[in-house]
Amino acid sequence: MAQLIFLLLVVGVAWLGYRKFVADAERLSRSRRKAEEERRTGADGTLVKDPETGEYRLRRDDE
């Protein structure tokens, strides 16, 4: 019985590690595509409009 619990625990940790790996890979891929698009167009960044003030600002990396 202890081996079964240990095996389930190992599988659960492996699954969580896999999901974290996939999420990080997708985030890096999005960031890379955005950087490539900015390099191709010669842009220095992407402007977004602040809904509260109505002013435009450069998009931060965490958005």
* pLDDT tens column, 40-59: 988 777 888 989 999 999 88
Tally of domains within the chain: 1
Q: Is the Cα dihedral 25, 30, 36, 38 positive or negative?
A: negative
pLDDT in tens, 23-38: 999 999 998 998 898 8
> 46 lies in which domain range?
2-58
Cβ atoms 50, 57 nearer than 8 A: yes
* Residue 63 falls inside a structural domain: no
* Residue 10 falls inside a structural domain: yes
pLDDT in tens, 3-18: 999 999 999 999 999 9
